[in-house]
Amino acid sequence: MEDVIKRFIDKHRNLGYTRSEDASVSLIFHSKGNYMNLKVSGHKSGHLVLPGERLGVIEEFIPNSGTYVKDGVIYSKIVGRALMDLLSKRVSVYPLISGANVPTVSSTIIGQVGHAQSDNVLVRIFKLGSKNLSGVFTGVLHVSDVRERYVESMTEVCKPGDIMRAKVISNKNQVYHLSTNDKSLGVMYAFCSICASLLEPKRYEMHCPKCGNVEKRKLALDYGKEEI
Ligand SMILES: [Zn+2]
């Protein structure tokens, strides 16, 4: 088990996403409950952009293919290269390659749990099927999509830092809505919220081998087995 943690940490050091950085993740969580990228525009033509990335405002550009507008701000709809035509004042995004590696409805994804609330958690998606993604996408798992039966709170499902497998059930408004309603879906690696050790499943609970802490999770059937 120690080896698993070490391998995991080594592999994902570059993700730049740890418990202590949860605050930065919540930055994309808009107060109205909408998700937006707060990154200030400043992209130049030809730059690689990701879905939801801000391209400009409607006062300066006319939105064209591969873009969408929300509250007067133009965002990229796809992974591609931004083309800002200063002459015609049009902004468009051209797909990088056809069939780019982007999650779609019914995709199975692997991600790390970030900002957590009692009724939903944000998941930083870094793997699509067995392939690593070039960009990083954020998904939302709502408490009503965890399993068939009623779940009271996300605290009994997963915690920040956990690695989970989920299915994309919708991408309405450019937000990936996730579900773990299947035996194969759920937490793949869970870490103790006190000492961060890898938790071990025992009967219906998760036990920490180091500090003895007991927690709850919604596990994937192959918990602790898949190489990430
Ligand atoms: Zn512990």
**The pair of three-digit structure tokens given for residue 7, joined into one six-digit string:** 């391998």
Distance 142 CA to ligand 1 centre (A): 26
- Each residue of 67-121: pLDDT tens digit? 999 999 999 998 888 888 777 788 888 876 655 677 889 999 999 999 999 999 9
CA distance 161 to 116: 10
- CB-based burial of residue 219 (10 Å sphere; 0-12 exposed, 13-18 middle, 19+ buried)? buried
Distance 54 CA to ligand 1 centre (A): 40
Distance 40 CA to ligand 1 centre (A): 40
| pLDDT at residue 65 tops 80 | yes
Distance 198 CA to ligand 1 centre (A): 8
Distance 225 CA to ligand 1 centre (A): 20
Return the pLDDT at 36.
35
Return the pLDDT at 47.
77
Mean residue pLDDT of the chain comes to: 80
More confident position, 98 or 21 = 98
| Residue whose C-alpha is closest to residue 178's, from 217, 202, 142, 212 | 142
Distance 215 CA to ligand 1 centre (A): 10
Distance 83 CA to ligand 1 centre (A): 50
Distance 197 CA to ligand 1 centre (A): 5
| Residue whose C-alpha is closest to residue 147's, from 99, 217, 73 | 217
| pLDDT at residue 189 tops 90 | yes
State the average pLDDT over residues 26-34.
32
Q: 11-15, 61-65, 78-82 — which is least confidently predicted? A: 11-15
Give the global pTM.
0.61
Distance 214 CA to ligand 1 centre (A): 8
Distance 199 CA to ligand 1 centre (A): 8
